[in-house]
Structure 1
Amino acid sequence: MADRHKFGVKKEPVVPQVPRGAVGRRVAEAVTEDISRHLDPVLFEDLKDAALSQNPEASRRAIRSALADGIRPEDLADFYIPALARDMGDLWCVDQLSFAGVTIGVSRLQAMMRALGPNWASDSATQNENASILLIVPQEVYHTLGAIVLSSQLRRKGFSVKLILGGKPEDIANRLSRTRFEAVFISSSAGETLESLRHIIDVIKTSCEEPCPIVVGGSILDVEKTDDVTALTGADYATKRPDEALRLCGLQQTEQNKAHAKGGT
């Protein structure tokens, strides 16, 4: 078995401007409740070893092996990859994995997502005229893996998703001026201020030709009350649950969506 602590465990200095507990939350954005019951311990450790291996090809080989053994790609995307991200964050919090190790490990998890399906992990949206969602991770926010997992879940439900990572206000405004969306989701971290979030939402509102619901999610809801987030930022809703966000925006799956998702495209 590979040494899963190749990336300088306990040796590399921690980057001081990133709060230790916050990284544990940021890399766990997409973890669902009671996720452990979906996991096979042996497969979990094999994937973990691969993600923390010095060989960048190890993660892709591990995914191919799991798929060959009959593991559903949806289970790898929705359960194993988020749980691995959380575990890496927990290891860093107790000084068993360096910050560089977490960073590289999470990038390998993103590679696993790409290996599972380009339509899930890529920036290309599915062809669905009825429900198009803009998913934004603001500039200087580091929890991109959670948003990538969320975008894959939404696409597999049949929704068209445009994902903007590290979104600058001008990038967001440009996209909204060219494309009509039925909803805008913002994945916001505990380290962001409500003022910075309000600025992004102001940009969204002034850039949309037609109003659409704006939903804030992410670990900011671990440190801020839902009512405060909506009242102080101008967002319409705040929730960490994707299904609730869709329901609040009136984006229930239609029969066309379900057929699209079942087709796996």
Structure 2
Amino acid sequence: MTQHEHLTTRGLQRHRPEHVDAFASTVISVLRDRQVVCSDGVRQFVLEHLVRAILVRGEFDPRLVMEELRGHRLSIDKIIDLYIPKAACVLGQSWVDDDVSFADVTIGAMRLQSLLGEASSQGDLDFAADDRRLHALVVLPQCQQHFLGVSVVAAQLRRIGCEVTQSFDEPLGALNARLMEERPDLILISCARLETLETVSETVQTIRATLSTGPVIALGGGVLDEVENLKERTGVDIVTNDAKDVVSFCSRRNKTLRRL
């Protein structure tokens, strides 16, 4: 750069309008905010975009929203495992804070459910060549309503390669009949509140009494953050919110049993 060019550039910078500097600072700030990553790996900007999409007035197109999320370089796994559950949490907290109406929450949850269906249809199934395909039953006990969370778990299990059926709010008699017919290899029970632990224990007792050979029974859900010693209190085999943990536990047990 010549001395004249250098002086000219400095002169342009010195006489640059203040609104240009303000605009540049705003752009830098926005770009910085887009890179903010929460402790659980969720990018805050993308999460906020998803929440706005499920709350927007008018038509909701899950395929278009999926394309937008994929445009942010998100894998199907991250959309199902992280962003949809996180958006549901934001939705619930917004209702608690009285920022959105119950109708908004209901519509938003339905839209997340449709987005989950779209994501699941685009995901790849992971079948193990040397193992029999496991049959998993996901149970939402009576008096609980977190259907989206249970659907997320079911989608995770299908991606792992399990055959999955679901039981929503069924009386113990109906659940008993389902168990006799399906005879699942593993059962995942979801519990969100401490108040419903007794129902979970009754459900576990029904499963044990109905299927003498015994499927693996897992407990997951929000209650894991509230209560300790859940295995002892409910009689389940494993306590986790990771579907892969349950499948691995079941596969190891089955291999052990085959060697006996």
TM-score between both structures, scaled by the size of structure 2: 0.70
Q: Offset of 1:165 from its aligned partner?
A: 2.3
Q: Does structure 2 conserve the Cα–Cα contact (< 8 Å) formed by 1:44 and 1:80?
A: yes
- 1:239 positional shift: 2.5
Match of residue 214 from structure 1: 217
Identity of aligned residues (%): 27
Q: 1:56 to 1:132 in 2, by over 3 A?
A: same
Q: What is the 5 A alignment of 1:125-144?
A: 129-144=132-147
Shift of 1:250: 3.6
Quickly say closer, same or farther: Cα 1:68–1:39, change in 2 above 3 A: closer
Q: Contact (CA 8 Å) 2:133, 2:161: kept in 1 or not?
A: no
Aligned to 1:235: 236
Q: Which residue of 1 aligns with 2:100?
A: 97
C-alpha contact (below 8 Å) 2:189/2:219 kept by paired residues: yes
The runs of 5 or more residues in structure 2 that have no matched partner are 1-37, 124-130, 256-260
**By how many angstroms is 1:86 displaced?**
1.5
Distance 1:34 1:85 in 2: 17
Structure in which a larger fraction of residues adopt helix: 2
Q: Does 2:172 align with 1:169?
A: yes
Higher relative contact order (Cα pairs below 8 Å, separated by 6+ residues):
1
Residue 39 of structure 1 aligns with an amino acid whose one-letter code is: R
Q: Write the mapping of 1:88-127 to structure 2, written as runs, cut at 5 A.
A: 88-118=91-121
In the other structure, the counterpart of 1:190 is: 193
* Superposed CA offset, 1:49-103 (max 9, x none): 2211232424443224444676433332222211211111222232212233222
Q: 1:196 to 1:70 in 2, by over 3 A?
A: closer
Secondary structure at the counterpart of residue 80 of structure 1: helix
**Aligned 1:1-265 pairs, distance under 5 A:** 34-35=39-40, 37-39=41-43, 41=45, 43-67=46-70, 71-118=74-121, 129-225=132-228, 227=229, 229-250=230-251
SS in 2 for 1:108: helix
In structure 2, do the counterparts of structure 1 residues 250 and 34 end up closer, same or farther at CA, with 3 Å as the change threshold?
Answer: farther
Whether the 8 Å contact between 1:190 and 1:222 is mirrored in structure 2 is: no
Report the alpha carbon displacement of residue 213 of structure 1 after superposing the two structures with TM: 1.9
Unaligned runs of 5+ in 1: 1-32, 121-127, 255-265
**TM-score for the superposition, normalised by structure 1:** 0.69
1:133–1:159 contact (8 Å) kept in structure 2: yes
Please tell me the residue identity of whatever aligns with 2:43. L
Do the aligned partners of 1:51 and 1:59 also contact (CA within 8 Å) in 2? no
Kindly indicate whether the alpha-carbon contact (under 8 Å) linking 1:77 and 1:116 is maintained by their aligned counterparts in 2: yes
